[in-house]
């Protein structure tokens, strides 16, 4: 009881000191977070744990097609969460086909109803929106549903949807507004008739025959689950798929998608979108290899050609926050500080950071701990694992093979690899041609692992486990001493012994 009383007294003194500091400075809040996505919310809630007066200002500008959503940012509303749920819907469709080989008598014909799936996904997302509101209230974080812009380095001017103005001042300001999908506005009809991932997950009716333009992970993931639920889906890609990822793995991903039913228009780019009678969309494109112009009609055209930082209304230039002139992203140092000392930025809006929810969350928490706690720990952006949720998933951590060669030279890199067949695929007689894994190592006595890449079922679950070892500096000999769990796909990683350099067949045979 005495210890509890002392803790309460310390907290009371801290709160009293905070109120005194705010009173002397004239600032209403210790911390104001502009942006209610994963990173911003994590930062705000962590700061509140230290007894600080915290506010979050968030506003979702409707997409050009009028789609809007609630608190929680891209991941919750139009990103990771609905994407994974719709990916699961597609996987269930594949499982139904496999089930017949395992003795299940599946009544025919099996068909998918978009509206039922969409309603279930959207209801779950709305529950997450409400959960975020409740968490902020429980932690005594003030929430403003307003669009914010800087008036001066310590002041944000907030505007409601109705145009009501509120002025908020804070000792520290964190910008966490994330990004939004780009529209290729130079293409006639792109803005008028196209949608983006901001819209796809909130459609009430099926998108029908769909053209997805772009070769990013957003493009391939969306095209993958659209194909998986039985829709006629085409991907148009101007150059390489999954830029920034290991290109051998990227090629295997798209090869599998083609065999799975997704069509690809390679080395092509659209030039015009036109609405036809019956609301069909006619798309005209050029094939750079053949030098030809072609057309086809679709029910939906979805743009997945990249994302842009959501900074347009922040008025950053007024307060001197520097951005990259090419990308528009905010320039920060290792402590997430901008060019203005008490203004910080985290997440997708920052230059040189991975556009991943978990990194934004971790960076936000660490920033709050440095500002208001006793911590000096910085966010470590090395060896961050990730997964592309295409029909056959691709997970990775560490360097791609190309990057490893560029950094260390091909003579100093050893790649252990294998083509394998998941046990689940055998009875169903599913093709496993693209199920592949490789470990990229330094070619030295200890053979430190630089990168691990895996294509196969549940890739995210597989990579998450191995990521810890690689974060801790795991070596190839240590990997070989790791006992696998039989019979799993991940087990095959612990048995990799054939190098690319050897030229031997890397196909796994036997049990």
What pLDDT score was predicted for residue 20? 43
What pLDDT score was predicted for residue 23? 45
Instruction: Tell me: pLDDT of 56 over 70.
Output: yes
Q: Which residues are annotated as a binding site?
A: 84, 148, 214-221, 306, 348
What pLDDT, in 10s, does the model give residues 161-197? 999 999 999 999 999 999 999 999 999 999 999 999 9
What pLDDT score was predicted for residue 9? 53
What pLDDT score was predicted for residue 21? 44
Question: pLDDT confidence of 12, banded at 50, 70, 90?
Answer: low
Cis peptide before 411 (omega within 30 of 0): no
Catalytic site includes residue 186: no
Instruction: Tell me: pLDDT of 14 over 70.
Output: no
What pLDDT score was predicted for residue 503? 97
Question: pLDDT confidence of 8, banded at 50, 70, 90?
Answer: low
- C-alpha closest to that of 363 among 9, 147, 40: 40
What pLDDT score was predicted for residue 108? 79
What pLDDT, in 10s, does the model give residues 481-503? 999 999 999 999 999 999 999 99
Q: Which residues are annotated as a binding site for NAD(+)?
A: 214-221, 306
CA torsion sign for 165, 166, 171, 172 is negative
Q: Any idea what the Cα angle at residue 73 is, between residues 60 and 56, rounded to 5°?
A: 75
Alpha-carbon distances of 372 from 48, 52, 213, rounded to whole Å: 9, 8, 45
**The 3-state secondary structure of 101-138, one letter per residue:** HHCCCCCCCCCCCHHHHHHHHHHHHHHHHHHHHHHHHH
Residues 468-496 as b/e (b if ≥16 CB within 10 A, e otherwise) read ebbeeebbbeebeeeeeeeeebbebbeeb
Domains of the chain with CATH codes: 26-72+130-181+308-372 (3.50.50.60), 190-305 (3.50.50.60), 392-495 (3.30.390.30)
Facing residues of 175 across strands? 34, 345
What pLDDT score was predicted for residue 107? 83
Please state, as a whole number, how many other Cβ atoms lie within 10 Å of the Cβ of residue 418: 19
The phi, psi pair for 454, rounded to 5°, reads -145, 130
Instruction: Tell me: pLDDT of 229 over 80.
Output: yes
Instruction: Tell me: pLDDT of 204 over 50.
Output: yes
Residue with the bigger pLDDT between 55 and 9: it is 55
| pLDDT average, residue stretch 229-234 | 98
Question: pLDDT confidence of 510, banded at 50, 70, 90?
Answer: confident
Selected catalytic residue, list 101, 112, 256, 486: 486
Give the side-chain half-sphere CA count within 13 A for 388.
30
| pLDDT average, residue stretch 217-241 | 98
Q: Which residues are annotated as a binding site for FAD?
A: 84, 148, 348
Pairing mode, strands 210-213 and 300-303: parallel
Instruction: Tell me: pLDDT of 16 over 90.
Output: no
Please state, as a whole number, how many other Cβ atoms lie within 10 Å of the Cβ of residue 84: 16
What pLDDT score was predicted for residue 26? 74
């Amino acid at each position: 009881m005495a210890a509890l009383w002392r803790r309460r007294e310390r907290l009371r003194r801290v709160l009293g000191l905070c109120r005194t500091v705010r009173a002397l400075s004239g600032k209403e809040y210790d911390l104001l977070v502009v942006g209610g996505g994963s990173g911003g919310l994590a930062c705000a809630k962590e700061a509140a744990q230290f007894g600080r007066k915290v506010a979050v200002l968030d506003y979702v500008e409707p997409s050009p097609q009028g789609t809007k959503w609630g608190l929680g940012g891209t991941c919750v509303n139009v990103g990771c969460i609905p994407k994974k749920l719709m990916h699961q819907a597609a996987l269930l469709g594949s499982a139904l086909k496999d089930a017949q080989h395992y003795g299940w008598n599946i009544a025919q014909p099996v068909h998918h109803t978009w509206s039922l799936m969409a309603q279930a996904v959207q209801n779950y997302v709305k529950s997450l929106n409400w959960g975020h509101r409740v968490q902020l209230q429980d932690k005594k974080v003030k929430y403003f549903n307003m669009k914010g812009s800087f008036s001066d380095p310590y002041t944000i001017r907030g505007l409601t949807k109705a145009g009501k103005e509120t002025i908020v001042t804070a000792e520290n300001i964190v910008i966490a507004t994330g990004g939004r999908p780009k529209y290729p506005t130079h293409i006639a009809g792109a803005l008028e008739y196209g949608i983006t991932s901001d819209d796809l997950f909130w459609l009430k009716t099926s998108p029908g025959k769909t053209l997805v333009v772009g070769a990013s992970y957003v493009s391939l993931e969306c095209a993958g689950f659209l194909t998986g639920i039985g829709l006629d889906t085409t991907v148009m890609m101007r150059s390489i798929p999954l830029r920034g990822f290991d290109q051998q793995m990227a090629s295997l991903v798209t090869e599998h998608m083609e065999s799975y039913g997704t069509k690809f228009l390679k080395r092509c780019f659209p030039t015009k979108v036109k609405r036809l009678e019956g609301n069909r969309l006619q798309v005209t494109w050029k094939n750079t290899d053949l030098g030809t112009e072609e057309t086809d009609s679709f029910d939906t055209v979805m743009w997945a050609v990249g994302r842009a930082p959501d900074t347009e209304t922040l008025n950053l230039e007024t307060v001197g926050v520097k951005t990259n002139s090419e990308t528009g992203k905010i320039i920060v140092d290792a402590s997430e500080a901008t060019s203005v000392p008490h203004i910080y930025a985290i997440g997708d809006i920052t230059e040189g950071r991975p556009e991943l929810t978990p990194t934004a969350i971790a960076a936000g928490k660490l920033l709050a701990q440095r500002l208001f706690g006793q911590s000096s720990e910085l966010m470590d952006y090395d060896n961050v694992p990730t997964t592309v949720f295409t029909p056959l998933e691709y997970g990775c951590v560490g360097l791609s093979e190309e990057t490893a060669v560029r950094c260390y030279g091909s003579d100093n890199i050893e790649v252990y690899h294998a083509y394998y067949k998941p046990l689940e695929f055998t009875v169903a007689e599913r093709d496993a041609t693209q199920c592949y894994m490789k470990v990229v190592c330094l070619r030295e006595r200890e053979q430190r692992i630089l990168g691990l890449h895996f294509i196969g079922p549940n890739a995210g679950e597989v990579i998450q486990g191995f990521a810890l070892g690689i974060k801790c500096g795991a070596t190839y000999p240590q990997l070989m001493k790791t006992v696998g769990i039989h019979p799993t796909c991940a087990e095959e990683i612990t048995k990799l012994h054939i190098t690319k350099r050897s030229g031997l067949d890397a196909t796994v045979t036997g049990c």
